[in-house]
Amino acid sequence: MEDQMPVAIVFHDDGTVPALFSEKSDKLLAARIGALPGAPPNADIASLRAWLASLPDPSGWFGSVEEAKAYVARVRAEHVMGKDELRSIREATGLSRAAFGEALGFGGNDNTRHKQVFEMESGAKPIMPERARRARALFAENELKQHPNVAG
């Protein structure tokens, strides 16, 4: 079935034209992706998948067209984050408001970053999608570091 063929979406961050590749098997797709500029040399499928995951969204390796479509839809969606979720994430990471603000990409001094996070946590300031994405990624990264079966 054609939609069960593996698919790779490739967006380089160097201005290279984006591309979508599909082959009849993971092995054939790996050969095609492995030949791309910037791909890790002599890489196995797992390494190529990890490389694609490191590229800008919606890059990735997908088991089917449907899986790729679902991922692209998720990337396009602006997932709303409430103040309580933001506060819970900050508390789970153990970061101060100032340090959390820096991790979310706020500039300025500690007082400025503290104020930005306080205003979002209190509902006085909206949580923009990019800040929500960064907060969720920070939470996931923190949890993965603590997981006993994850090296790194």
Per-residue pLDDT of the chain (152 residues; tens, 9 = 90+): 455 899 999 998 887 889 999 999 999 999 999 999 999 999 999 999 999 999 998 999 999 999 999 999 988 887 889 999 999 999 999 999 999 999 999 999 999 999 999 999 999 999 999 999 999 999 999 999 887 775 55
Question: What residue ranges in the chain does DSSP mark as E strands?
Answer: 7-10, 19-22, 60-62
Distance of CA 119 to the CA centre of its chain: 25
Question: Is the same domain home to 93 and 51?
Answer: no
Q: What is the dihedral of CA 83, 88, 93, 99, to 10 degrees?
A: 30
Our count of domains for the chain comes to: 2
- Specify whether the backbone of 87 is left (phi greater than 0), alpha (psi in -120 to 50) or beta: alpha
Question: Is the same domain home to 71 and 7?
Answer: yes
Domain range for 92: 83-146
| Calpha distance 68→64 (Å, rounded) | 6
pTM above 0.75, yes or no: no
